[in-house]
Amino acid sequence: MAVLNQSSVTNKVNLIDARGPRFSAVITTLVLAAALVTQSAALIAIQLVVFAIGAFAGPAKTPYAFLFKKFVKPRLKGAVPTEDARPPQFAQSVGLIFAVVALAGSLLSIPALFTVAVGFALFAAFLNAAFHFYQYLLSSQSQWALHYSQRF
């Protein structure tokens, strides 16, 4: 029987610029809104690929992260806020599931399934863009929860 010594276990945390996933969520919101309005399977397929890259390789490897690093980040001033890459990667995994369901709905000619799946993905992307919601949802010591628990 092997015994793990906690000092021998290291938690390698991959830190990323916290502004990048929010930028990506804004683009994702726009793509999903366009897909919902146009009922475009092509747009969902493109977003599915972006979600898959984010879910499997990490959010820093997505095309949206490239755009952020190349065009947005050089123009930002001040300290660079960092965060653990795991919550945004989880959010990408959730988006991937919705995109797969939406694409299946489109390919199987079930427009209601497409609309509902894209709608849920759009709602989640909007929350991430507007409120950085996944950070609060997945944080074990959520500042949001602490803030509101202190109000009551």
* 124 within 8 A of 29, measured Cβ to Cβ: no
**In the chain, domain spans:** 17-74+84-136
Over residues 139-147, the mean pLDDT reads 46
The Cα–Cα gap between 46 and 93 comes to 15
Q: Tell me the pLDDT band of 13, cut-offs 50, 70 and 90.
A: confident
Q: What is the pLDDT of residues 36-75, one digit of tens each?
A: 999 999 999 999 999 999 999 999 999 999 999 999 999 9
pLDDT value of residue 9: 47
Over residues 123-135, the mean pLDDT reads 81
* Token pair 């804004």 in the structure block, residue: 26
Report the predicted TM-score, pTM, of the whole model to 2 decimal places: 0.80
**Angle ∠(132,137,142) on CA atoms, nearest 5:** 90
Assign residue 11 a region: left if phi > 0, alpha if psi is -120 to 50, beta otherwise? beta
The Cα–Cα gap between 45 and 152 comes to 45
Least Cα distance to 82 among 144, 11, 132, 14 occurs for: 14
Judge whether residue 142 has pLDDT over 70.
no
- Supply the mean pLDDT for the chain: 86
